[in-house]
Structure 1
Amino acid sequence: MAAAVHETVLIGVCDGVIDKKKYTSYCTNKIGDRPDLLPVITLQHPTCSLCQRGLSHVVQVYCPLAASPYHRTISVFACTNPHCSGKSESWIVLRSQCLEDDIKARQDDKTTPCTESAMSRTDWCDEADDWGMDDEEQVAENGVQIPNDCIGEGNDVSSRLQDLCIDGDHHQSALQPNDVPVFQPFYISVMEETDLDGFHDTDHENELLRAYEEREGVTVEEIHSCGSGGATQEEYEKATAKHGDEVFTSFMKKISLCPEQVLRYSWAGSPLFISETVSDVIQTVPVCAHCGSPRVFEFQLMPALVSLLRSVDTDSDVSLEFGTVLVYTCRNSCWKSGSAAPVEEFAVVQPDPDQKLFK
């Protein structure tokens, strides 16, 4: 797919552990934990199509489309069975939607509203460059009413993401079988890729960067030098010898400004491939099974996420291995009125190029 002229790319990074004492909601962007359900949704826990084990929740993304009246949440699940690792069939993507009126109909007048901020709630898509406006300006600009239960105050991203006060009785989380691993919960903070020049690394982010460099056998400096035109042949070979793959080298150059990114979002945009594909991925993505519309790329999970996916059970060594996971969703984001079941979307898993060395 050709890149859009003004393609907006949003970057998700880990923004701290979710305190067990704080409730999250469907409008929380997060890693791990159990998915938070929209009030009208009932989830039958998904299982792996390869081994029939229950799937673990990997990420939850609250991503309402700019011109749509629907709340919209996407949850990604994966099988932790090592035999299923790296296979698209062992992943499931579920999209849930509902109208604000459906939520209000189920709310008690005394329920404390969610005060999560517009930054963590975020329009991940077309109007992302309108962040920073006040609520009235966003309504005027987008023509879409921001849900009152998901608006907050404050300028610090971390404090906004963690400033949740949803009532415990109103919290609805998916039930999960006891034998299904649960990953440690982290908030996801969001920024535009064009703002990364001013991004300030924290100690945690530097730790992730060092781990990524060690795992991939190449440093950010080497990647930058390869793309600067000033690299020697020896430097170039050092940075690319591990994989010998131009696609991988291009991938590394693109993410080098923020290697700790765990998610890239660009609705109907262009994915970053981590390795050459046997066939054209775009042509192998099936149309929506419900309305027949084509699916478009929406977001992808990035290599830095792998190191964060550890079980809440400290005695467990369960983990996931992947290079990147590409998520495609219905272009029309179709939804049947009154539906209580999520719509299954499509994921393409590209393994880390290193994995082929061990097969």
Structure 2
Amino acid sequence: MQAVLVLEDGSVFYGKAFGATGEQWGEVVFNTGMTGYQEVLTDPSYCGQIVVMTYPLIGNYGINKDDFEAKKSFVRGFVVKEECHRPSNWRVSNKIDEFLAREGVIGISGIDTRALTRRIRNHGTMRGIISSAATDIQTLIDKARSCPQITGQELVPTVATKEIYTVPGNGPRVVLMDFGAKANIVRCLNQRGCEVVVVPPTTTPEEIMTLGPQGVMLSNGPGDPTDVPYAIKTVSNLIGQLPIFGICLGHQIIGLAVGGKTYKLKFGHRGANHPVKDLATGRVFITSQNHGFAVDRQSLPPDVEVSHINLNDNTVEGLRHKSLPVFSVQYHPEAAPGPMDSEYLFDQFLANLS
């Protein structure tokens, strides 16, 4: 079955449909990871987006039951150069086509993902429509131009927990504010003995304090950080009361909570090979990233310093309060693009807990 992807600038890419059928819209972004497509498909931070994989062969090791970051997929569409029909892996339980069909995600293969990625890099992320049903291209382009921008959409409530739940542990109690948390964040805390209490993003400071935590973790999540003003207010009130560690969207929320500003990147950082420098030690880490917004360095108050920078474009990759146990990173220390070099940040957070 033929499928088509159109962008709001009028670009049209024809290919073959796989996974689910139908029509869907979203912000079209690209990911440069050579592996990890299952984690990408189940990362709640991709909610509202059509994901283009730059690596040419996707699905070669199939889908397995162990590598899910969430119980379901939140991506709007999936774009690949070539879909592998015969995966080979001792853990494989499903083909990628079967997984996408089950999750209702429309896939398209056989397109020039290199040309598509270059267009996004040159012109920035764009709204798009992926369809295996429509034949009128101009109608699809008009629809893409009328779709909502990523900013202003209430995406966090779509992916976050609605109820408080606890993952038992024998160590310190940590409250995890869930904005679309990846499963490995909970796993990394739990492996270090933490009792993790996961709470909805709308939880108030008073409700968090009644849980008796020794620290607060702020998770990743989708969309524009300014679209969760309630979370920014909560974190602002918690600063100075408890140690706080933020990842990705949580990092941006800390930046806003201390009085800084954020801005939208041209095409974002999405992949498993982004070099980040720790300014305190000079050490460079190869990191996994997935974000479209960044903290404005010039907007930060004097008592907050930049701790890490991205060596590709010098954007802010980490923050640290100069006198309080509050810090954050833009990248994903719980995601291993190879060695688990950045997991030391969880140990650093635990060292702050009393």
Q: Which has the higher strand share?
A: 2
Q: TM-score, normalised by structure 1?
A: 0.25
Q: Greater relative contact order (Cα 8 A, min sep 6): structure 1 or 2?
A: 1
